[in-house]
Structure 1
Amino acid sequence: MFLRDKLDLDAPLITAWSTSPSPEIAGALAACPFDAVTVDMQHGSHDESSAFASMRLIHARGKPGLLRIPVGRNDLASRALDMGFEAVIAPMINTVADAQDFADSMKYPPVGSRSWGPMRALELHSDQTPGSYFKSANRETLAIAMIETREAHAALDTILSVEGIDGVFVGPSDLSISWSNGEGVDPGRPDMQDALADIAKRAREAGKFAAIFAVDPASTPLYSKMGYRLTALNTDPGVINAGAALMLEAARG
């Protein structure tokens, strides 16, 4: 099932977050009961080689793969789709122009100007033909714009109105920096929670979806209640550390 189909079921989804440049770790995350795996090239250590190799192992485990590109790397966005990723998360989409440029790279004409060449994607999705892939790609490959500044929040409705933008992704740590005018990093800021709920509400009203990064896994139910349909759960080192802590606690009594 494609990530788009899972989102259309309107049940809360959780994605793992791969930062270590190891396809094996990404594949191991995909073998866990996460709904998807996101490979991070912005703040993670992945390069193109490790990211694309990770996508193959994620797919082998039957999970959708998402890629977060570095800021402004729209050329990499369309390449990620060619390699089989089902969604791309673009950071620092602050204006409608940013959103339009990103969407343009993600969608085939007449919506955008993505060029043809999804040979690796067709290898992974072997049930599709070139013709069926072309017809379905604009729906099934998702362009997700990050909302992480006051400027982006102010432009949210116009960003959501861009044809080809399928959803938004909130980075609460970066948003807290902007929200506090640079006072510090606090994704749980009490004065920001109404804004977080408002983003999810406005995305749904626009017929699109909202996703968010859960720095604290315990905040995931709250985000789901706000209307977020996809939550990113910590990072791969965080998962490893948490698992090790549980096993060591049991081992040491």
Structure 2
Amino acid sequence: MSLAARLRTGESVFSAWSLIPDSQTVELVAGLDFGAVTLDMQHGGHHEDSVLRGVGAVRLKGKHPVVRIPVGRFDMASRALDMGAETVIAPMVNSVEDARAFAAAMKYPPVGLRSWGPSFAMPRAGASDAQSWLANENANTVAFAMIETRQALAALDDILAVDGIDGVLVGPSDFSIAWSNGATMDPALEDMMPAIASIAQKARAAGKHAAIYVVDPLLVGRFHAMGYRFFALGSEGAYMTDGAPAMLAATRGSIKG
């Protein structure tokens, strides 16, 4: 089942977040108990070659490959899909014009302008029928427009109305900076929580998906109650930081005397 299909059922999907552009590291992360792995090209070290190789590593583990492209690199959205990604996250979508450009890169005609060339994507998905791929790929790919600024919030209704935008993903760190007019960076800022809730409500009302990056896992339940169903969590550094102390504590605790 594709990630798009899982989200349409209302299932909660948890994505790992990969910053390190190394396919072996990506494969290790994909082996963890996440449903998806996001390769970050915006703030992470991922680039075109590491995405090409990393998507294969994610699929090898039976997980859903997701790519966050750099700001404004809508051409990379098409390339990520052709490399086998199922979902693309576009940061800083601040206007309906941004949303239309992103959707055009993500979807085949008549919805968008995506060029044909799934030379890697089809075999990696186990597909061989080109006509079937063309007929179903628009529904099987997810275009997440990131909502991170006051401009994006003001344009949210218009962004959600764009055909080819499948959902929105909130970046709470940048959103907190925008919300506080540059005074603070706090992804758990209480003052912005009503706005965060309204984004999910509007997305769901428009028949679109609501997603969010989560710094504190204890907030997931609160965001789930708001209507969010795709949750991106942590990164390799956080997984090592959380796992190593538990291993060392168990090691030291096993020594008698």
TM-score by length of 2: 0.96
CA distance in 1, matches of 2:249, 2:218: 20
Deviation of 1:128 (Å): 3.9
% same residue: 51
Distance 2:62 2:128 in 1: 16
Separation (CA, whole Å) in 1 of partners of 2:2 and 2:120: 16
Structure 1 runs of 4+ off > 2 angstroms?
A: none
2:127–2:133 CA contact under 8 A, matched in 1: no
What is the CA–CA distance in structure 1 between the aligned matches of 2:109 and 2:181, rounded to whole Å? 40
Task: Point out the more displaced range, 125-134 or 15-24.
Answer: 125-134
Correspondences of 1:26-175 after superposition (within 5 Å): 26-175=26-175
3-state SS in 1 of match to 2:120: helix
User: Once superposed, what is the RMSD of the aligned Cα atoms?
Assistant: 0.9
Q: Return the alpha-carbon distance in structure 1 between the equivalents of residues 244 and 184 of structure 2.
A: 30
Measured in 1, the distance between the counterparts of 2:110 and 2:32 equals 38
| Cα-to-partner distance string for 1:86-138 (whole Å, 9 max, x where unaligned) | 01000000000000010011111111111000010011012341111111111
Residue 18 of structure 1 corresponds to which residue in structure 2?
18
Partner of 2:204: 204
1:170 partner amino acid: V
Moved more, 240-249 or 161-170: 240-249
> Given residue 168 of structure 1, which amino acid in structure 2 is its aligned partner?
V
- How far apart are the structure 2 equivalents of 1:27 and 1:129? 28
Equivalent residue letter for 1:15:
S
Amino acid at match of 2:203: A
Deviations 1:139-176 (A, max 9, x none): 10111100000110111110000000000000000000
Q: What letter matches 1:24 in structure 2?
A: Q
| Cα distance in 2 between the residues matched to 1:117 and 1:216 | 39
Which stretch shifts more, 64-73 or 28-37?
Answer: 28-37
Which stretches in structure 1 are left out of the alignment for 5+ residues? none
Q: 1:45-97 CA distances to partner (integer Å, 9 max, x unpaired)?
A: 11111111010010011111000000000111001100000010000000000
Distance 2:103 2:227 in 1: 23
Query: 1:130 & 1:28 partners in 2: Cα distance?
Result: 32
Unaligned runs of 5+ in 2: none
Residue 10 of structure 2 contacts residue 229 of structure 2 at CA under 8 Å; is this kept in 1? Answer: yes
